[in-house]
Amino acid sequence: MTQPATPDFLEALEKALPPGTLRARRDGELEDPRGRYHGQAAVIVCPATVEEVSTIVQACYEASVGIVPLGGGTGLVLGQIAYDGPAPVILSLEKMTKIRAVYPQENVIVAEAGAILADIQSAASEAGRLFPLSLGAEGTCRIGGNLSTNAGGLNVLRYGNARELCLGIEAVLPDGQIFHGLKRLRKDNTGYDIRNLLIGAEGTLGVITAASLRLFPQPEHEAAAILIVPSPAAALELLNMAQGIAGEGISAFELISGMGLDFLAETVPDIRQPFAAHPEWCVLIDLGVSGTSDPEAMLATLFERGFEAGLVSDGVIAQSEAQRQDFWTLRETIPEGNKRIGSISSHDISIPLSRIADFIPEGIARLSQLGDVRVNAFGHLGDGNLHYNVFPAKGRDRSEYENIRFEVKRVVHDLVAEYDGSFSAEHGVGRLKAEDLEHYGDPGKLSAMRAIKAALDPKGIMNPGAVLRLPPA
């Protein structure tokens, strides 16, 4: 068990670090984006170098004081919010924002963990390259948090999760030792893969301080279309058809429901919508190709073949880059519309592709037995990741459903388990889903995870309570 940060400990920590490294908590900091939880902090420390991170972690290790890493604070599963137990040291990466190097010929960029995702994208673009990780929060989230949660986002279908985009890691381990794994190699079979152990560990095995990231050539031609489909089943058939036409040129294939479009019209009316009457289902497909390939012609072919097969009834192909960006603005604003409506319970799930079409209506049927609710199912259809969010009936408030909130989550997650899916596709486990991991997780995997945690972090100071629940007091 971790110990409280005593005044003597905090005084010694401040003396061991450069002036200004410790700061007070800011208004609104460490609050759950959904407004349900508030985190604790004995102090917030803002190191500027990996050596300073090492000093902080070593001091916490010796005193058995908990440490919670903080990136952009955009996480949705309470990984950065410690709301019980002794108040921890919050280790903010806000000063470690350097782009250390760009190697265009190697297709590599080296960035510190506090670098904003959008800044890494810009640095890659300035070098004529693409860093493809793309999230709705990319203007505020930090790459250390992206790696710690193995973030997915919009381009997983083509480029993979954050794990696939990382070649090397620099990190501080729970005893304060620095792991110098910041290599730029594609091949390095020299024992256990510590890099991949730290990625997705959500700060429970160490603090990521920098990373070597993969870059890609920028597509020479890009195009997008929004196509109306009769059902998710038709959307999946259309995806198969699109892969036959465009192959690896498909950057994203997103499922959008009419419920999501209705929410946007109600809460963000300034957002341009491509159809006057909201379709029950549509897909946003984005292509990026090079050479003599013509993505607009590919999309036109897809529309024609899809129409002939009864998979598409209407659609719009972007006629300019501005219109393409309008399509993406529509898609990326759906979570904001959801937030303004106010969900009863939100779920980040993944389902085997062939079973998505059955899962969506079955989930709605089961949830309707709990009460009068609405479901907005949308997300990254190409990789099986759905955001399956449950809302009050029109004209009602989520507070009226507080008595069934946890039952709603149980119904969704039970069905996910029946369909051999995952209750956490890309947002991580954090503290919010740690109990779900115990309930739905494979016993062998959980046993191995606990053994790894005990071996690397025997005092349990690294993000205590995240991923693996705290033992009973």
Question: For every one of its 473 residues, what pLDDT tens digit does the chain have, with 9 covering 90 and above?
Answer: 899 999 999 999 999 999 999 999 998 899 987 778 899 999 999 999 999 999 999 999 999 999 999 999 999 899 999 999 999 999 999 999 999 999 999 999 999 999 999 999 999 999 999 999 999 899 999 999 999 999 998 999 999 999 999 999 999 999 999 999 999 999 999 999 999 999 999 999 999 999 999 999 999 999 999 999 999 999 999 999 999 999 999 999 999 999 999 999 999 999 999 999 999 999 999 999 999 999 999 999 999 999 999 999 999 999 999 999 999 999 999 999 999 999 999 999 999 999 999 999 999 999 999 999 999 999 999 999 999 999 999 999 999 999 999 999 999 999 999 999 999 999 999 999 999 999 999 999 999 999 999 999 999 999 999 999 987 76
Give the Cα separation of 229 and 313 in Å (integer). Answer: 6
**How far apart are alpha carbons 150 and 168 in whole angstroms?**
14
Strands 89-92 and 43-45: parallel
Cα–Cα dist 428/69, whole Å = 15
Which neighbouring-strand residues pair with 256?
282
d(Cα 35, Cα 12) in Å, to the nearest integer?
Answer: 34
Q: What is the pLDDT of residue 28?
A: 84
- Residue whose token pair is 């989930």: 363
Residue 119's CB is within 10 A of a number of other CB atoms, namely 18
CB 390 within 8 A of CB 412: yes
Q: How many CB atoms lie within 10 A of CB 237?
A: 17
How many other C-beta atoms lie within 10 A of the C-beta of residue 93? Answer: 26
At 16, is the secondary structure helix, strand, or coil? coil
pLDDT of residue 109: 98
Residue type, 125: S
How many Cβ atoms are within 10 Å of 65's Cβ, its own excluded? 26
DSSP 184-202: --S---SSS-HHHHHTTST
Angle among Cα 408, 393, 268 to the nearest 5 degrees reads 105
- Residue 331 CA to residue 182 CA, distance in Å, equals 35
Indicate whether this model's pTM tops 0.85.
yes
pLDDT tens figures, 406-430 = 999 999 999 999 999 999 999 999 9
Compute the distance between CA of residue 50 and CA of residue 277 in angstroms, rounded to an integer.
Answer: 54
Identify the helix (H) or strand (E) that includes residue 255: strand 250-257
Distance CA 294, CA 307 (A): 20
